[in-house]
Chains A and B, each alone.
Chain A
Amino acid sequence: MYFNILKRDLKRKKTMNVILLLFTMLASMFVSSGINNVVTVMNGTDYYLDKAGVGDFVVITQNGDGGVEDIIEDSSNVTSYKMEDAYWGSIDNIEVDDEQLDLKSNTIVFQELSDNGITLYQTDNEELTEVKPGEVYVTAGVLKRNELEVGDELELDYYGVENTFTIAGEIKDALLGSDMMGNTRFIFSHEDYEEFEKEELKPMSGCMYNIKSDHIAELQGEIAKGENILFSGSRSMIKMSYVMEMIVAMIVLVLSACLCIVSFVLLKFVITFTINEEFREIGVMKAIGIHNFKIRSIYLTKYFVMSVVGGVIGLFMGIPFGNMLIASVSEKMVLSNDYGIYLNVVGALIVVFVMTGFAYLCTGKVKKSTPVDAIRNGATGERYGKKGKYSLKKTHFSNAFYMAVNDVVSAPRRFMTIIFSFFICSVFVFGLVEVTDTMLSDRLITTFGKKSDAYITSSKLLRMDMISEEGNEDVKTMLSDVEEDLKELGMPGKTNFEVWYKYNVTFDGRTTSICCQQNKYTDTTDYDYIEGSAPQNDKEIAITKQIAEDIGARIGDTVTIDFGSEKKECMVVAYFQTMNQLGSVIRLHQDAPTNMIYANAMMSIQIEFDDEPNAKVIDDRIEELRDFYDTEDVYNAAGFCNDCMKVAGTMQSVQYLLLAITCIVVILVTILMERSFISDETSQIALLKAIGFKDRFIIRWQVYRFLLVAVITEILAVIFTYPITKLWCDPIWSMMGASDVKYYFNPLSLCLVYPGIILLINLITVWLTAGVTKKITCNDVGNVE
């Protein structure tokens, strides 16, 4: 008999049951994929670095090993190490169809597949084990960036080594492949690589050391004594270089958490709603003497079976969905966890337990109430609550709009599920829009350098051969040539040029190799500082909070910098923020005795036009400069920021993905809630029809009501976007070295476009769903289902 009651219930309340099943599936999908993604992302970089075999400390040298190998051999702080050869080239050495490649940095590493190096992975996460002669593997992302395909040919011209190679595939490179490291690795076959081993190429060769050590700080001090070091850093620094990728991963993580919350809120609503609807039957059953346990077990069985069916389907849907969410990150990383599908199963089980738990709690009322209470509660649910007073006689709205407003004012709690779900999704999308807009604006420029009108990063001008003894003179000549060019082009301006050096800095008896930035062609007072005052002479420096933390120096302390030619005692006079080198930077005074031979990188040629042109004119001039120098690498401030971070594009893709998911959630929530409302209001709708109200009035009433709630939610979301975005995003910026980011609130995006899209989706969905009311007839006026 109880089975028959259940069967009839499933048949009779088909719509609500289908919606409940649908949401159980979605909850299971979101939760199972969410948990897996959370664990994957949390362990993401560690898992990847471990799998690839990245050591505790990494040293990269150029022009031989610079004595580093001897230091490592002699050091008691080294447990073991691996060393692999490499040749350093630049984008000038590679062409495809007579055109240069567009790479994230100008530097390219040429290598063979070595047992002494880290493990490289192919795009399908399989280990790269073989490279055939005539073939080359390139770092992931290069093909897409250059619109190339596997099978295309590359021409190599490397100081006498000339050959054509077929692209065999892309590799995921744990050490150099992150957006921040930005170096491209080309892996050749052993046979082809032997061609590089010529005496005249020795100066271009280098080594990569992967060191295992339990005493990183001490080892760092020892390594600092080596020469020709391009990069030295701990595993945590390599890990930090994935911060850009992790931003996207964290967004996926937060999104998954949001979807889990929304799913549970909706499940709670649907179960409470359906069980409230069933109080009439429950009351009748109690009245005829059926025991509480039996009554509860009927509904618990129903919800349990439904949660298991939904859970299992959702579990299988969650696997491709989770992969889709994390796809943007796993393009460059091998992301996985040790638990595999078991985490998805745990997620699905949680949904089953939570849903059964909700059902158990909701049916708990059955135990407490008498048959009469049960019947009255079931039949009149809302009637005993005092309604808000918003009189029709006082309103200037149309009837339908008045009823919509009155419904919301009278029973706001009824709409909390909608408000909560829409708010969570919207505030997150808007936050992401705000972050992306900030990244695409010039707000972050002072965290990358000095604000100028234009920036040239082309390797045609920033030649690698300027990193030499005579480099300072070469730079001077290059800058004056550019100024001449500007004059010729009718856009006179001044240039300046920022160079990064790697110097050993000693404080409190500890020596560390630190990246120092200097712009000899402008004043240090032209830069921004967050505390203290700009360095006034070559004995003063500014440091970042990160450096202060790393070496322990504070404003007023004196550090010793070994400039190569001389050692100088420099006083820390200010703190500044920068996202370069993840915030581990010292700013030198323009007169500090630097030498290009110690240069680590050249940032850009910065141009400040004499006539202070507006943004439009600057953009026009940038186009002109691109034509003149035959390069795309000329940017305005916003473009330069984007070029430095290289993540805005990915952020935009994630933003669109998130918007799509939000729209899907909005559609589902709207359908669910609207169908619930209609089901609850069937007799009222029928009454309106009976007394002469038309279908279009009823649809308008339903649409206005939903839209009103959605508009309120979107307004709240826009208001709360800034503080909530600050809350989740500031720690990420701070990890990257920027402790005080001023977000760019683009009114067009945040007040019009994105809320507009969500509202439009909502409007269309509720309009179509409300169409169901056309099927309600006057005869349904007595329908209490």
Chain B
Amino acid sequence: MANILEVKDLCKTYVIEKRQNNVLKNVNFSVEEGDMVAIMGPSGSGKSTLLYAVSGMDVPTSGTVNFDGNNLMKMKPNELSDVRLDKMGFIFQQMYMMKNLTILDNIVLPAVESKKSKENKADKVKRAEELMRKLSIIDVADNDINEVSGGQLQRACICRSMINNPKILFADEPTGALNRTSSMEVMEELVKLNDEGTTIMMVTHDAKVAARCKRVLYIVDGNIKGEYVSPQDANLSQADKERKLNTWLMDLGW
């Protein structure tokens, strides 16, 4: 599989009152198409900063981020916006949505804005409804965002992130604000999407969630301290996978 994302010598430094704070220090990794990567690490280790830097939402201090063959750091703001709109999808820990729009309108909005496909608006709406049906939230399509549960809202966010058929999905603790049942439902959907070919990169604190990914990058103080590849043994149960990952994490000081 070809690499969809290549990160080389990525650094991010914040200057707070003349004092430099190196959040990311020469980070190197790559993500193949169809991969599902979890980024773990203690609080303040730079997980979210890394996610935002590689997704073009934040500007790194140095290094390169090649996405789909293009260096994001050389792109102009508008080009970066186009990449995020057409080729990337985002899911956040808090289910951020436009307050005055219904669930369906929130999902359709990026599709209508995108010039990627030649579909008309009706087709885009139809596609949004299909996605909602797939994620079992079609019943709340016309609801306001305050009329649905957290799990439904996060699934709506997944629909929105998928509406333009992105090449990669970035998720920042997508289950962080959900209860156990909702978390599992959302992870099921993400795994399904990955199985269908969508590349996913997510930040998580939850080993149970990370165990559903194919790879785990462990980051400490802005450096990748280790990489875990989930065993592809079909006979291995999910519980076994979680146990193995936990053992690896414990070795790294988790």
Interface hits, B85-115 → A, CB 8 Å = 85-86, 88-90, 92, 94, 96-102, 104-105, 108-110, 112-114
Which residues from chain A contact B122 at a C-beta distance below 8 Å? Answer: 393
| Known contacts A691-B160, A692-B110; A782/B105 CB under 8 A | no
User: Is there contact, CB below 8 Å, between A391 and B105?
Assistant: yes
Tell me if B50 is interfacial: C-beta within 8 Å of chain A: no
Query: Count of B residues near A, CB < 8 Å?
Result: 40
Cα–Cα distance between A410 and B98 once the two chains are bound (Å): 12
Most buried by B among A389, A393, A693, A694: A393
Interface hits, B113-144 → A, CB 8 Å = 113-114, 121-122, 125, 142, 144
Tell me if B52 is interfacial: C-beta within 8 Å of chain A: yes
Which residues from chain A contact B81 at a C-beta distance below 8 Å? Answer: 689, 692-694
Interface of chain A, main secondary structure: helix
Nearest Cβ in chain B — how far from A399, in angstroms? 5
Cα–Cα distance between A431 and B57 once the two chains are bound (Å): 51
| Known contacts A691-B90, A692-B83, A693-B85; A410/B100 CB under 8 A | yes
User: Is there contact, CB below 8 Å, between A393 and B77?
Assistant: no
Which residues from chain A contact B57 at a C-beta distance below 8 Å? Answer: 689-690, 777-779
Nearest Cβ in chain A — how far from B132, in angstroms? 13
User: Is there contact, CB below 8 Å, between A778 and B52?
Assistant: yes
Tell me if B232 is interfacial: C-beta within 8 Å of chain A: no
Interface of chain B, main secondary structure: helix
Tell me if A781 is interfacial: C-beta within 8 Å of chain B: yes
Which residues from chain B contact A694 at a C-beta distance below 8 Å? Answer: 77-78, 81
Tell me if B206 is interfacial: C-beta within 8 Å of chain A: no
User: Is there contact, CB below 8 Å, between A389 and B142?
Assistant: yes
Tell me if A202 is interfacial: C-beta within 8 Å of chain B: no
Cα–Cα distance between A407 and B101 once the two chains are bound (Å): 8
Interface hits, A220-273 → B, CB 8 Å = none
User: Is there contact, CB below 8 Å, between B102 and A391?
Assistant: yes
Q: Determine which of B58, B89, B112 lies in contact with A779 in the assembled complex, contact meaning CB atoms within 8 Å.
A: B58
Q: Determine which of B84, B92, B100 lies in contact with A387 in the assembled complex, contact meaning CB atoms within 8 Å.
A: B100
Cα–Cα distance between A389 and B103 once the two chains are bound (Å): 11
Tell me if A695 is interfacial: C-beta within 8 Å of chain B: yes
Cα–Cα distance between A456 and B146 once the two chains are bound (Å): 75
Tell me if B82 is interfacial: C-beta within 8 Å of chain A: yes
Interface hits, B45-80 → A, CB 8 Å = 52, 57-58, 77-78
User: Is there contact, CB below 8 Å, between B105 and A393?
Assistant: yes
Nearest Cβ in chain A — how far from B46, in angstroms? 14
Nearest Cβ in chain A — how far from B15, in angstroms? 15
Q: Determine which of B96, B113, B161 lies in contact with A781 in the assembled complex, contact meaning CB atoms within 8 Å.
A: B96
Interface hits, A392-417 → B, CB 8 Å = 392-393, 399, 403, 406-407, 410-411
| Known contacts A691-B84, A691-B110, A697-B113; A406/B52 CB under 8 A | no
User: Is there contact, CB below 8 Å, between B108 and A392?
Assistant: yes
Nearest Cβ in chain A — how far from B160, in angstroms? 7
| Known contacts A392-B108, A407-B100, A778-B58; A692/B88 CB under 8 A | yes
User: Is there contact, CB below 8 Å, between A684 and B109?
Assistant: no
Which residues from chain A contact B86 at a C-beta distance below 8 Å? Answer: 692
| Known contacts A383-B99, A406-B100, A692-B86; A393/B121 CB under 8 A | yes
Cα–Cα distance between A781 and B94 once the two chains are bound (Å): 9
Interface hits, A138-159 → B, CB 8 Å = none
Cα–Cα distance between A382 and B98 once the two chains are bound (Å): 12
User: Is there contact, CB below 8 Å, between B99 and A684?
Assistant: yes
Q: Determine which of B58, B98, B101, B109 lies in contact with A777 in the assembled complex, contact meaning CB atoms within 8 Å.
A: B58
Find the A residue at minimum CB distance from B160.
A691
Tell me if A384 is interfacial: C-beta within 8 Å of chain B: yes
Tell me if A386 is interfacial: C-beta within 8 Å of chain B: yes
Tell me if A687 is interfacial: C-beta within 8 Å of chain B: yes
Q: Determine which of A386, A393, A689, A692 lies in contact with B113 in the assembled complex, contact meaning CB atoms within 8 Å.
A: A692
Nearest Cβ in chain B — how far from A170, in angstroms? 61
Which residues from chain A contact B77 at a C-beta distance below 8 Å? Answer: 694-695
| Known contacts A691-B85, A693-B85, A695-B77; A781/B100 CB under 8 A | no
Most buried by A among B77, B81, B104: B81
User: Is there contact, CB below 8 Å, between A386 and B144?
Assistant: yes
Nearest Cβ in chain A — how far from B126, in angstroms? 9
Which residues from chain A contact B145 at a C-beta distance below 8 Å? Answer: 383
Tell me if A32 is interfacial: C-beta within 8 Å of chain B: no
Interface hits, A356-407 → B, CB 8 Å = 382-384, 386-387, 389, 391-393, 399, 403, 406-407
Tell me if A111 is interfacial: C-beta within 8 Å of chain B: no
Cα–Cα distance between A781 and B51 once the two chains are bound (Å): 14
User: Is there contact, CB below 8 Å, between B146 and A690?
Assistant: no
Nearest Cβ in chain B — how far from A676, in angstroms? 15
Which residues from chain A contact B78 at a C-beta distance below 8 Å? Answer: 694-695
Tell me if A683 is interfacial: C-beta within 8 Å of chain B: yes
Q: Determine which of A387, A391, A779 lies in contact with B104 in the assembled complex, contact meaning CB atoms within 8 Å.
A: A391
Cα–Cα distance between A84 and B238 once the two chains are bound (Å): 115
Most buried by A among B86, B98, B100, B102: B100
Nearest Cβ in chain B — how far from A8, in angstroms? 15
Which residues from chain A contact B114 at a C-beta distance below 8 Å? Answer: 692
User: Is there contact, CB below 8 Å, between A779 and B96?
Assistant: no
Most buried by A among B57, B125, B145: B57
Cα–Cα distance between A386 and B142 once the two chains are bound (Å): 12
User: Is there contact, CB below 8 Å, between A389 and B102?
Assistant: yes
Find the A residue at minimum CB distance from B170.
A690
User: Is there contact, CB below 8 Å, between B85 and A692?
Assistant: yes
User: Is there contact, CB below 8 Å, between A392 and B112?
Assistant: yes
Find the A residue at minimum CB distance from B93.
A782
Cα–Cα distance between A779 and B105 once the two chains are bound (Å): 23
Nearest Cβ in chain B — how far from A77, in angstroms? 75
Most buried by A among B83, B96, B121, B160: B96
Find the B residue at minimum CB distance from A396.
B121
Interface hits, A664-690 → B, CB 8 Å = 683-684, 687-690
Cα–Cα distance between A399 and B92 once the two chains are bound (Å): 23
Interface hits, B185-241 → A, CB 8 Å = none
Q: Determine which of A411, A778, A782 lies in contact with B100 in the assembled complex, contact meaning CB atoms within 8 Å.
A: A411
Nearest Cβ in chain B — how far from A213, in angstroms? 71
Which residues from chain B contact A693 at a C-beta distance below 8 Å? Answer: 81, 85, 110, 113
User: Is there contact, CB below 8 Å, between B92 and A781?
Assistant: yes
Cα–Cα distance between A52 and B112 once the two chains are bound (Å): 74
Nearest Cβ in chain B — how far from A409, in angstroms? 9
Interface hits, A690-718 → B, CB 8 Å = 690-695, 697
| Known contacts A383-B146, A781-B92; A399/B109 CB under 8 A | yes
Which residues from chain B contact A399 at a C-beta distance below 8 Å? Answer: 109, 112-113
Find the B residue at minimum CB distance from A386.
B144
Find the A residue at minimum CB distance from B122.
A393
Which residues from chain A contact B96 at a C-beta distance below 8 Å? Answer: 683-684, 687, 781
Which residues from chain B contact A695 at a C-beta distance below 8 Å? Answer: 77-78
Which residues from chain A contact B88 at a C-beta distance below 8 Å? Answer: 692
Find the B residue at minimum CB distance from A683.
B96
18 contacts between A and B (CB under 8 A): A383-B146, A384-B146, A387-B100, A389-B142, A392-B101, A392-B109, A393-B121, A687-B96, A688-B98, A689-B81, A691-B89, A692-B86, A692-B114, A694-B81, A697-B113, A778-B58, A779-B52, A779-B57
B interface residues with partner A (beta carbon < 8 Å): 52, 57-58, 77-78, 81-86, 88-90, 92, 94, 96-102, 104-105, 108-110, 112-114, 121-122, 125, 142, 144-146, 160-161
A interface residues with partner B (beta carbon < 8 Å): 382-384, 386-387, 389, 391-393, 399, 403, 406-407, 410-411, 683-684, 687-695, 697, 777-779, 781-782
| Besides the known contacts A399-B109, A695-B77, 17 further A-B residue pairs in the complex with CB atoms under 8 A apart | A387-B102, A391-B105, A391-B142, A393-B104, A393-B121, A406-B100, A406-B101, A406-B105, A684-B99, A687-B96, A687-B98, A690-B84, A691-B161, A692-B82, A693-B81, A779-B52, A782-B92
* Interchain residue pairs A-B with the least CB separation, the first 5: A692-B85, A778-B57, A692-B84, A392-B105, A410-B100
